[in-house]
Structure 1
Amino acid sequence: MSGGAAPRPLLYTCAGSRGLRATWAAEEAGVAIDLALLPFPPRFEAPEYLEINPLGTVPLLVDGPDDTGARMTESCAIAHYLATRNGPSDLVIAPGEVDYAEYLDFTYHADATITFPQTVYMRFAIFEKDKGFAEAGEAYARWFEKRLVKVEERLREREYLCGGRFTVADICVGYALVLAGRVGLDDRVPQGLRDYRDRLTARDGYKRAVEREKAGPQALG
């Protein structure tokens, strides 16, 4: 049997994409991963990526042998997985802890309810803005704004979403708020949530994740 360290998890991503949730979680948890940066959108700009991930989406985490290892494509699930890969972590709320149900709920809420209208807005208002879809883009901007109410109410008397501490739920929701600032939706974000975002992005783990994505090697040549 050959010795040597096992390969590190490999994350295919695009800088600033939803994959930032995974990179951020790895940095916060101290889990060593390798990054493979793709041009955006990879299904068009790096079509060979479809041979690795037929969905053509990012992120994709590969951890272990191709035939038996983990292959994950959901950013919030990857963030949770990496946070617990090396054992129990304060980055997650465990069964039996206060706010366990809320932790699960806000982690899933981040992508399914908050990021979803953002991505549709981006399609209509940014990527296809010359095709006459401005009205649809505005509709999804309003949808995004209305879907922030649950997080806004939760944080009125809390610093973090669950368990009185920073968790993966904050990473997942926090990324959606970061994305809002990048795509022209910041005027839809209440000041309290902007302040929350500022607390999250001041963390060293977030800063390291952003720098890693900037400096990461390009994938697929």
Structure 2
Amino acid sequence: MSKDLVFYTNPMSRGRIARWMLEETGAPYETRILDYDGDMKAPDYLKLNPMGKVPTVVHGDTVVSECAAICAYLADAFPDAGLAPPTDRRGAYYRWLFFAAGPLEAATVNRAMGFEVPRERERTVGYGNFSRVMDALEMAVSGSDYIAGETFSAADVYVGSHVSWGLQFETIEDRAAFRAYRDRVTDRPAFRRAAERDDAAMPNTEG
């Protein structure tokens, strides 16, 4: 596809997930770094992302926000990169991609904020309780080398980012299966390129 690809981000954000995914596609893209208190709340950007946050990807006339959606979109937009299974074998791919965007994200954020779901209210929330989410995640990353089988996919970018950050910031439990999965999925040239580019874009706090 020859459409222009523009990536709105901040290196201190979930935009690092989208950057990794962009690097995996191998497609050329333009990066626009936004600051939190100014650019992200500017009227022109709010037309693209009414939430006033990053990342957002604009591909021609198509605007995509939310990291899981960006990963899924880019996998389909650049099929030659091989980042999505064939459509008739996407059960695990979709299942764990959106598990991470839903139950995992909610459970880890709530835990980090000091909120525990009362036992009698577990049926009310989408994830039940934190321990159940950790057990499901361990099952997901233990069944095969990658989240959707034996081949790396866009779902590994998203789930792998959550696992890597969770271990780093202690928002998920430190389990051997999580460490092994993190090491597998981040041992990739695209991951290293993305990290180097985001690290280089970090604000200089010296002086």
The TM tier, using the shorter chain, reads 0.7 to 0.9
Deviations 1:88-142 (A, max 9, x none): 4421012123xx11111111111112123333445x3xxxxxxxxxx42xx38x9
Instruction: Please show how residues 177-192 of structure 1 align to structure 2 within 5 Å.
Output: 177-185=163-171, 188-192=173-177
Match 2:162 to one of 159, 176, 189? 176
Would you say the 8 A contact 1:35–1:213 is kept in 2? no
User: Are residues 1:206 and 2:191 paired?
Assistant: yes
User: Are residues 1:33 and 2:29 paired?
Assistant: yes
Letter in 2 for 1:195: A
The equivalent residue for 1:193 is 178
- So what's the TM-score if we normalise by structure 2? 0.78
Letter in 1 for 2:9: T
Q: Which has the higher contact order (CA 8 A, sep 6+)?
A: 1
Q: For structure 1, which segment, 45-54 or 155-164, has the greater mean C-alpha deviation from structure 2 after superposition?
A: 45-54
Counterpart CA distance in 2 for 1:46 and 1:25 is: 21
Cα gap change, 1:178 to 1:106, in 2 (>3 Å): same
Question: 1:60 Cα deviation (Å)?
Answer: 1.0
Instruction: Please show how residues 1-221 of structure 1 align to structure 2 within 5 Å.
Output: 8-39=4-35, 42=36, 46-48=40-42, 49-50=45-46, 52-64=48-60, 69-97=61-89, 100-122=90-112, 124=113, 135-136=114-115, 139=116, 143-185=129-171, 188-216=173-201
Aligned to 1:61, the other structure's residue is in SS state strand
Instruction: Give the unaligned 5+ runs of structure 2.
Output: 118-127
Cα gap change, 1:51 to 1:29, in 2 (>3 Å): closer
Counterpart CA distance in 2 for 1:215 and 1:179 is: 19
Number of residues of Structure 1 aligned to a counterpart in Structure 2: 191
Cα gap change, 1:46 to 1:59, in 2 (>3 Å): closer
Q: Identity of counterpart residues, as a percentage?
A: 26
Counterpart CA distance in 2 for 1:144 and 1:14 is: 29
Two-structure CA RMSD over aligned residues (Å): 2.8
Aligned to 2:32, the other structure's residue is in SS state strand
- So what's the TM-score if we normalise by structure 1? 0.74
